[in-house]
């Protein structure tokens, strides 16, 4: 349950970090596209990759949450 909650924490932080980036880049579509590509890569690595340590899994799930934060925009 600890690891799954990191997805939600990453999503909250990702939403807060992505919003200022949209103001500086001026293009929301590019950030949403890059976030969805990152989401596919991380999910593919988690599903089809090797067995990971606890820390690496936690980092990847946090990054997964940050990538889903771009989809919320």
pTM: 0.86
Considering only CA atoms, which of 69, 61, 64, 66 is closest in space to residue 3?
A: 61
DSSP state for residue 49 in the 8-state scheme: S
Is the Cβ–Cβ distance between 60 and 45 less than 8 Å?
yes
- 23: pLDDT strictly greater than 90: no
- pLDDT at position 71, please? 84
Q: Per-residue pLDDT for 1 more than 80? A: no
User: Cα(63)–Cα(61) distance, rounded to whole angstroms?
Assistant: 5
């Amino acid at each position: 349950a600890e690891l799954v909650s990191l997805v939600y924490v990453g999503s909250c932080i990702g939403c807060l970090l992505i919003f200022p980036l949209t103001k500086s880049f001026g293009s929301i579509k590019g950030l949403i596209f890059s976030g969805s590509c990152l989401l596919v890569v991380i999910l593919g690595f988690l599903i089809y990759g090797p067995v990971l340590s606890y820390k690496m899994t936690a980092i990847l799930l946090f990054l997964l949450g940050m990538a889903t934060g771009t989809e919320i925009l």
